[in-house]
Amino acid sequence: MSHRARKRFGQNFLIDDSVIQDIMAAVAPQPGQRLVEIGPGTGALTRRLLACTDELHVVEIDRDLVARLQHEFAGTSLHIHQADALKFDFRELARQAGGPLRIIGNLPYNISTPLLFHLMAVSDCIVDMHFMLQKEVVARIGAPPGNKQYGKLSLMVQARCDVQILFDVPPAAFRPAPEVMSSVFRCVPHRVAPVTISDFSRFERVVTAAFAQRRKTLRNNLKNLVSADGFQAAGIDASRRAEELSLVEFARLASFVVEESL
């Protein structure tokens, strides 16, 4: 049963068995774990995951692929959720499954960032996540301070998770082949937060404004959010640029946002 990849769903199906083996080695699934695959596609990775666990949940938006999966995996312990992953209630799934989830997926490039933010919001019910994304996006997620890739995405993910970039995947590993390299990475939600962020919306607002114009100083980018006294109280030189600040420093700076600006 063939399936034509649909651009509107950002479909690029993994076909390289060696890459699948590398992903399986990275995930190392065990019986009894609550595994969830986002975007199973034609089931190349699904088959391997299902062989290693008591039950597997998959979230797939494409009705035709859902029908294909239902046919191929009839009588197995595969649970298929036909849904948009951006709107799917992973917290409720964890409740129904009886514990935190391990999430795996070859994510469509066109929804990768909003989907990561969606998952970050429920990171307390997730054990870990293994995803494949566009290499450039993964580099941004894992970038340290001072790196040209370091920015809002880096901070918003690293504030909630430890990030480890694992390996690259060439375009030839997919059908159809994308025009870019991909990378597989691991995100493990912090059980003990590296920083205290009491208000994530305030933290995000500061980070967004700080990186709005990367070449400008914090003083210029945050002039409507943080006063001179605020910078001084936070112990941060306002003449620095956003890419120079660590996660800890951004968390501290967010505590001194002028209340009138909220």
Q: Report residue 77: phi and psi, to 5°.
A: -95, 25
pLDDT of residue 189: 96
pLDDT of residue 178: 83
pLDDT of residue 7: 45
Per-residue pLDDT reduced to its tens digit, 192-214: 988 989 899 999 999 999 999 99
The one-letter amino acid at 121: A
Whose CA is closest to 142, among 115, 166, 119? 166
pLDDT of residue 9: 44
The answer to whether the beta carbons of residues 145 and 245 sit under 8 Å apart is yes
What CA–CA distance (Å, rounded) separates 27 from 128?
Answer: 9
| CATH class of residue range 7-189 | alpha beta
SS (H, E, C) the chain: CCCCCCHHHCCCEECCHHHHHHHHHHHCCCCCCCEEEECCCCCHHHHHHHCCCCCEEEEECCHHHHHHHHHHCCCCCEEEEECCCCCCCHHHHHHHHCCCEEEEEECCHHHHHHHHHHHHCCHHHEEEEEEEEEHHHHHHHHCCCCCCCCCHHHHHHHCCEEEEEEEEECHHHEECCCCCCEEEEEEEECCCCCCCCCCHHHHHHHHHHHCCCCCCEHHHHCCCCECHHHHHHHCCCCCCEHHHCCHHHHHHHHCCECHHHC
Q: Which residues, in sequence order, are bridge partners of residue 188?
A: 162
pLDDT of residue 230: 95
| C-alpha to C-alpha distances, 28 to 58, 113, 146, 170, 247, nearest whole angstrom | 17, 25, 33, 22, 30
pLDDT of residue 1: 46
| C-alpha to C-alpha distances, 253 to 141, 160, 192, 247, nearest whole angstrom | 21, 17, 20, 10
pTM: 0.90
pLDDT of residue 3: 47
Q: Report residue 183: phi and psi, to 5°.
A: -140, 150
Protein fold of 200-261: Helicase, Ruva Protein; domain 3 (1.10.8)
Q: Report residue 28: phi and psi, to 5°.
A: 50, 60
Give domain limits for the chain.
7-189, 200-261
* pLDDT tens, the chain, 262 aa long: 454 544 444 458 898 999 999 999 999 999 999 999 999 988 999 999 999 998 899 999 999 999 999 999 999 999 999 999 999 999 999 999 999 999 999 888 888 899 999 999 999 999 999 999 999 999 999 999 999 999 999 999 999 999 999 999 999 999 888 889 999 999 999 999 889 898 999 999 999 999 999 999 999 999 999 999 999 999 999 999 999 999 999 999 999 998 645 5
The answer to whether the beta carbons of residues 117 and 93 sit under 8 Å apart is no
